[in-house]
């Protein structure tokens, strides 16, 4: 299986089949921040997102893992009442250390949810987490992401995997 292939692909975090994840004995959800939880450039999550996290907290341990800086990530995590990891340098395996040492959780019980194949999905597959892809909330992004998007397009073409054709495996 390609390391770039998500096992679940949905339009956004509101359309993810969390019940299925629960049935699969997933205990922890790791969310990407920019363009997954909120629009790149926004400072705070909206009410709908706050409500979603409130209900997810009943069933899962929730952690935001972002490549963004602490100041930004901590503010949003506080608002969503969840843990956070910042400067994660995805797709490196830096997250692994925290899963082992801080959370003591089996990787098969963790889902990673994000909008980028070359960071979120790739690191998820590398570590044996359950990788869930969502479409980016908006097209505006960091400069570095423009390169990732170009790469992503090529990968998606090769995998015969189309944007907007959502699935669950
Ligand atoms: Mg992102």
- Distance from Cα 33 to the centre of ligand 1, integer Å: 6
- Distance from Cα 160 to the centre of ligand 1, integer Å: 22
The Cα 3–Cα 128 span in angstroms is 10
CATH number at residue 16: 3.40.50.1000
Q: Could you give the number of structural domains in the chain?
A: 1
Q: Is residue 1 part of a domain?
A: no
The Cα 42–Cα 106 span in angstroms is 33
The Cα 44–Cα 58 span in angstroms is 22
Q: Is residue 25 part of a domain?
A: yes
Q: State if pTM tops 0.75.
A: yes
Q: Is residue 2 part of a domain?
A: no
Burial class (CB within 10 angstroms; exposed 0-12, middle 13-18, buried 19+) of 103: middle
- Distance from Cα 39 to the centre of ligand 1, integer Å: 9
- Distance from Cα 84 to the centre of ligand 1, integer Å: 15
Q: Is residue 3 part of a domain?
A: no
Q: How large is the average pLDDT for residues 45-54? A: 97
Domain enclosing residue 55, as ranges:
8-168
Q: How large is the average pLDDT for residues 64-70? A: 94
pLDDT at 139: 74
pLDDT at 1: 57
């Amino acid at each position: 299986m390609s390391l770039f292939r998500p096992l679940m692909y949905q339009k956004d975090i509101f359309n993810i089949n969390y019940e299925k994840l629960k049935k699969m004995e997933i205990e922890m959800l790791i969310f990407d921040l920019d363009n997954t939880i909120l629009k790149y450039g926004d400072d705070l999550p909206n009410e709908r997102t706050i409500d979603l996290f409130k209900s997810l907290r009943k069933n899962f341990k929730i952690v935001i893992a972002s490549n963004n800086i602490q100041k930004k990530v901590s503010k949003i995590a506080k608002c969503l009442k969840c843990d956070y990891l910042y400067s994660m340098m995805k797709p490196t395996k830096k997250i692994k250390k925290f899963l082992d040492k801080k959370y003591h959780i089996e990787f098969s019980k963790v889902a990673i949810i994000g909008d980028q194949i070359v960071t979120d999905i790739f690191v998820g597959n590398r570590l044996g987490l359950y990788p869930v892809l969502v479409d980016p909330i908006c097209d505006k992004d960091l400069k570095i992401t423009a390169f990732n998007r170009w790469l992503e397009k090529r990968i998606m073409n090769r995998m015969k995997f189309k944007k907007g054709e959502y699935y669950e495996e």
